[in-house]
């Protein structure tokens, strides 16, 4: 939102429109002339904005000429001076008929302007995860190659150890083997993390292309009801259903309470599904991944602990301790959910 006034946001939106429609009945609003001017400037600049102005047809006599009526008369005069034609409508049905006729004339051309831009934007959205996947796959192949080299070194050192008769030399070889094994463990962790990142990107790409979220569950949980509630914008009911399915996925009773242990062992597949559902249907405003980003922005869990007031804005997390938030933060990062939410507000 604008830091100055809400009207600035309306004016900004007008510059991004393809059609600008003004309806007048008894008076001209306080900011109407400003909005009309902004629309006219935009239209002249890019030629994409269509301006349609409609006035209710009503007889006016001298006794009715009050200040609000004068705003209509003055605005009509301004439109006349600008060479802008307005349309008179008798009632709502007449307005619908006249506006639909005008839309039928311009929609084919308008569609021709919008569709190429839409397809280009869609291609860019799809290309982003594709590019990331390709980059990660290349890095993954390099890590696998390094992993194979480490295994080969360990194999050679093990063979040397078997054939070695010197105690001192054996100790030295064993030390080298331990170093290589440590590196191998680190590489395997990196490979596992990269594989999970690729899977997450592929999951996101599927949503972008098909608009569908696969309701995967490691524990056989049915997420259909949660999806339907979110799709219908029934956020409070979706909160309650989220509590229910999270308890089921964690293997605890619905009346039970999620704790640090259950969160720490929460199945990544289910966490990802719940996260993607919230992200998708809230247009990226809600989800575990959004919350983690917010926590990271204030310095992680330590940043949370330094805050005097913590307000959790989602019911299924109300009353949770910082220890539980820390467990959730850690689990979300472990599961590589991408961009991370713990629905909160701070004083």
User: Are both 237 and 304 inside the same structural domain?
Assistant: yes
With respect to residue 105, please indicate whether it lies within any of the assigned structural domains.
no
User: Are both 231 and 310 inside the same structural domain?
Assistant: yes
Within 211-321, where are the H helices?
Answer: 224-231, 235-250, 260-264, 268-281, 288-297, 300-305
Query: What domain count does the chain have?
Result: 3
Last residue of a domain, one of 38, 62, 90: 90
User: Are both 230 and 339 inside the same structural domain?
Assistant: yes
User: Are both 233 and 175 inside the same structural domain?
Assistant: no
With respect to residue 332, please indicate whether it lies within any of the assigned structural domains.
yes
344 has a pLDDT exceeding 60: no
Domain that holds residue 273: 224-346
**Residue 209: pLDDT band with limits 50, 70, 90:** very low
96 has a pLDDT exceeding 60: yes
With respect to residue 117, please indicate whether it lies within any of the assigned structural domains.
no
User: Are both 254 and 306 inside the same structural domain?
Assistant: yes
170, 147 in Cβ contact below 8 A?
A: no
With respect to residue 64, please indicate whether it lies within any of the assigned structural domains.
yes
Within the chain, where are the H helices?
Answer: 6-14, 32-46, 67-82, 92-163, 167-210, 224-231, 235-250, 260-264, 268-281, 288-297, 300-305, 322-334
332, 269 in Cβ contact below 8 A?
A: no
User: Are both 203 and 269 inside the same structural domain?
Assistant: no
Last residue of a domain, one of 90, 105, 140: 90
Residue 82: what pLDDT?
Answer: 79
DSSP annotation of 99: H
Compute the mean pLDDT over every residue in the chain, rounded to the nearest whole number: 74
2 has a pLDDT exceeding 60: no
Residue 197: what pLDDT?
Answer: 74
15, 43 in Cβ contact below 8 A?
A: no
User: Are both 190 and 293 inside the same structural domain?
Assistant: no
Strands (E), 86-139: 87-89
User: Are both 188 and 234 inside the same structural domain?
Assistant: no
279, 287 in Cβ contact below 8 A?
A: yes
317 has a pLDDT exceeding 70: no
pLDDT digits (tens, 9 = 90+) for 109-156: 655 555 555 455 555 555 656 677 778 788 888 888 888 888 888 888
With respect to residue 39, please indicate whether it lies within any of the assigned structural domains.
yes
User: Are both 148 and 80 inside the same structural domain?
Assistant: no
With respect to residue 100, please indicate whether it lies within any of the assigned structural domains.
no
258, 250 in Cβ contact below 8 A?
A: yes
Chain Cα centroid distance, residue 126: 15
Strand 310-312 versus strand 344-346 pairing type: antiparallel
With respect to residue 334, please indicate whether it lies within any of the assigned structural domains.
yes
pLDDT digits (tens, 9 = 90+) for 267-310: 888 888 888 888 878 777 778 777 777 777 767 767 666 654 34
With respect to residue 153, please indicate whether it lies within any of the assigned structural domains.
yes
User: Are both 85 and 191 inside the same structural domain?
Assistant: no
User: Are both 317 and 230 inside the same structural domain?
Assistant: yes
User: Are both 243 and 324 inside the same structural domain?
Assistant: yes
Residue 150: what pLDDT?
Answer: 87
């Amino acid at each position: 939102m604008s830091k100055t006034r809400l009207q600035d946001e309306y004016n900004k939106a007008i510059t991004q429109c393809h059609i600008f429609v003004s309806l007048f009945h008894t008076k001209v609003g306080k900011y109407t002339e400003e909005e009309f001017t902004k629309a006219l400037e935009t239209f002249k600049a890019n030629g994409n904005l269509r301006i349609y102005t409609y006035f209710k047809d009503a007889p006016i006599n001298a006794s009715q000429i009050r200040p609000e009526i004068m705003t209509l008369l003055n605005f009509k005069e301004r439109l006349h001076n600008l060479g802008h034609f307005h349309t008179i409508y008798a009632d709502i049905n007449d307005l619908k008929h006249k506006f639909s006729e005008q839309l039928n004339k311009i929609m084919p051309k308008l569609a021709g302007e919008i569709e190429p831009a839409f397809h280009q934007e869609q291609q860019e959205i799809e290309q982003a995860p594709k590019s990331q996947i390709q980059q990660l796959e290349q890095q993954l192949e390099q890590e696998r190659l390094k992993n194979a080299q480490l295994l080969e070194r360990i194999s050679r050192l093990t063979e040397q150890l078997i054939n070695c008769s010197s105690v001192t030399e054996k100790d030295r070889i064993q030390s080298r083997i331990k170093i290589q094994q440590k590196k191998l463990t680190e590489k395997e962790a990196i490979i596992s993390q990269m594989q999970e990142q690729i899977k997450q990107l592929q999951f996101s790409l599927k949503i972008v292309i098909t608009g569908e979220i696969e309701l995967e569950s490691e524990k056989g949980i049915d997420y259909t009801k949660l999806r339907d509630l979110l799709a219908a914008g029934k956020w409070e009911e979706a909160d309650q259903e989220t509590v229910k399915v999270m308890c089921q996925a964690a293997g605890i009773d619905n009346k039970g309470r999620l704790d640090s242990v259950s969160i720490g062992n929460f199945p990544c597949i289910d966490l990802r599904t719940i996260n993607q559902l919230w992200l998708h249907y809230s247009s990226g405003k809600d989800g575990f991944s959004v919350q983690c980003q917010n926590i990271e922005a204030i310095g992680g869990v330590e940043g949370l602990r330094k805050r005097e007031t913590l307000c959790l804005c989602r019911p299924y997390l109300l009353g949770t301790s910082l220890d539980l938030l820390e467990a959730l933060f850690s689990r979300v990062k472990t599961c590589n959910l991408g961009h991370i939410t713990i629905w909160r507000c701070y004083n």
